[in-house]
A and B are shown apart, each in its own frame.
Chain A
Amino acid sequence: MCGTCGCGHTENHHEHDHAHEHHQHGHDTEKRRISVELDLLDRNRTFAAENRAWFDKHRIFVLNVVSSPGSGKTTLLAAMIRAQADKYEVSVIEGDQQTTLDAERIAEAGARVHQINTGNMCHLDAHMVGHALEHLQPTDDSVLVIENVGNLICPAAFDLGEHLRVALISVTEGEEKPLKYPDMFAGSQAVIINKCDLLPHLNFDMAQCRDNIHRINPDAAIFELSATSGEGVCDWLQWLASARAKQHKGKQVQGAA
C-alpha cells in the first residue's frame, strides 16, 4: 500500500488525483513521509537460499567455520582434509582480507580451494560465496568448507547457505570468549575448543568454558581437540559424518551436547 496517502498503489504514484490541499508545485517537490519495508539482509538471504538449494541439489554438505583470527581454522581444516582423503572429497572457500597464504596451506593438504580476498570487508556474504562456487565447482556428494574471515562479530549476521555453522575457539583465548561474543556461539551448531595440547601450560577452565557455551547455546555440540597433535579430531570427524548423513536424509542437524 502506498504509505503517503493509502492509495493502495506501490507505483504509478503520480496517477491519482492530488488536487486536495496541495500547493502549486507537483508531487515531485512535495515533502512526504512514506512507509517502506526494506530489509537490509534480504538480499543476502536470497543469495543464501540460492546457494543452499544448489548445495542440496548436488548433495554437497557445507560448513561455515568462524573464529577469531589465529584460533586454528586453517590448521584444523588441513587436518580434516588429510584425515578424510579416502572418504569424501573436501573443497574449501577461504575468506581473508588479504593474501592467499591460507589457500596455499589448504592446497598443500590436498583439497581444491578458492580464495576470496574481502579487502575492506570483515565477513563473507552469500553473494561472494555464490561467485566462489563458479570458480571452485565442488563435485557432487562432496563436503565444502567455507573458512570465514577471522572475526567473531560480523560473520554472525550473514547466512552463506551452509548446513552447519561451526565456531572455533582456542584455549589461549580464555574461557570467557563465548560470553563476550555470544551471537557467534548462539548461531553455531558445533563449537570446537582447539589447541588443547597447550592446556598444561595455561590457566584455562574447561568446565567453565563448556558451561559458558551452553549458557548461550544449550544445544551446541562441543569438541575438545588439538588440530596440531590430532588428539580429539577423530571424535569431531565422526560427529561430522553423522551430521552429514542426517542432512542427506533431509533431517535438520542438531547439536548433541
Chain B
Amino acid sequence: MHEVSLVRELNRLVEQEAAVRHFSKVERVHVSLGAHACVSETSLRFAFESLRVGIMAEAELDVRMVQAKGVCHACGARAVMVERISQCAACGGVMLPQGGDEMRITELEVI
C-alpha cells in the first residue's frame, strides 16, 4: 500500500532531476527493486499508472527485481537468498538478508 507514497517520491525525485539534467519529458523510468523491499511490483505499477503527473504523465515503468544476498547467522556462509526465510546450506543456520531492500531509480529515458 505504501507504493503510493513511493510513487509520489519517485515523481518528486524525477522532477528534481529534470531541473538539473535538463529534460522536459520522461518516456521510461527504470527502477531496481530488492527482493525484500516490502514492495509489490504489481502495486507499484498500479500506483505509478494512477499517479504519474507532469513530465511523467506518459512515462512507462520498467522494474528490475534484484535478488537478495544472505549471510548465515551461525557460520557466516554467504549465499543468494531465493526464499525470504531460508536455512544455510552448510550448517542449517538462519540466513539473514544482507541488503535486498533497495528501491532505486537507475535510469531514465527522457526527451
Contact A36 B10 (CB under 8 A): no
CB contacts (< 8 Å) of A216 on chain B: these are 85, 94
Question: Which A residues are closer than 8 A to B by beta carbons?
Answer: 2-3, 10-11, 13-14, 27-41, 43, 120-123, 125, 151, 153-154, 156-158, 179, 182-183, 186, 214-216, 218-219
In the complex, which residues 12-63 of chain B have their Cβ closer than 8 Å to any Cβ of chain A? 12-14, 17, 20-24, 27, 36-39
Residues of B within 8 A of A35 (CB): 106-107
Q: A31-B27, A218-B94 are in contact. Are A40 and B106 (CB under 8 A)?
A: no
A183-B38, A215-B85 known; A36 vs B1 contact (CB < 8 Å): no
Is the beta-carbon distance between B20 and A11 smaller than 8 angstroms? Answer: yes
Chain A residues with Cβ below 8 Å from B73 are 218-219
Known contacts: A43-B9, A122-B1, A218-B73. The answer to whether A30 contacts B84 by CB under 8 A is: no
Are the C-beta atoms of A40 and B109 separated by less than 8 Å? no
CB <8 Å contact, B17 and A154? no
Per-position contact with A for B72-103: 1 when CB-CB < 8 Å, else 0? 01000000000011000000011011000111
Cβ of B65 under 8 Å from chain A: no
Residue B105 CB within 8 A of the other chain: yes
Contacts of B66 in A (CB 8 A): none
* Contact call B106/A34, Cβ cutoff below 8 A: no
Question: Which residue on A lies nearest to B27, using beta carbons?
Answer: A31
The 8 Å CB contact of B20, one of A10, A183, A186, is A10
Report the minimum CB–CB distance from A32 to chain B (whole Å): 6
B106 partner residues in chain A, CB cutoff 8 A: 35-37
B66 smallest CB distance to A (angstroms): 13
With A31-B27, A37-B106 as contacts: A120 and B36 at CB distance below 8 Å: no
Q: What residues of A have a CB within 8 angstroms of the CB of B4 in the complex?
A: 120-121
Q: How far is the CA of A37 from the CA of B105 in the complex (A)?
A: 6
Closest B residue to A2 using CB positions: B21
When the two chains form their complex, are residues A34 and B21 in contact, meaning their CB atoms are under 8 A apart?
yes
Structural contact, B107 and A215, CB atoms closer than 8 A: no
| The residue from B9, B37, B107 contacting A34, defined by CB atoms under 8 A apart | B107
Given contacts A39-B102, A39-B104, A157-B38, contact A31 B97 (CB under 8 A): no
CA–CA, A182 and B95, complex, Å = 12
The answer to whether A121 and B104 touch across the interface, beta carbons within 8 angstroms, is no
**Which of these, A29, A36, A43, A153, contacts B108 with CB under 8 Å?**
A36
Q: What distance in Å separates the Cβ of A92 from its nearest Cβ neighbour in chain B? A: 22
Please indicate the chain A residues that have their CB under 8 angstroms from the CB of B27 in the complex: 31
Query: Which residues of A lie under 8 Å from residue B85 when comparing CB positions?
Result: 179, 182, 215-216
Q: Which residue of B lies closest to A156 (CB)?
A: B38
Q: Are B110 and A125 in contact (CB under 8 A)?
A: no
The one of A38, A122, A153 in contact with B104, judged by C-beta atoms closer than 8 angstroms, is A38
List 21 A-B residue pairs with CB atoms under 8 Å apart, sorted by A's residue number.
A10-B20, A13-B21, A31-B110, A32-B111, A34-B23, A34-B110, A35-B106, A35-B107, A37-B106, A39-B102, A39-B103, A40-B103, A43-B9, A121-B5, A123-B2, A123-B5, A154-B1, A157-B2, A183-B84, A186-B96, A216-B94
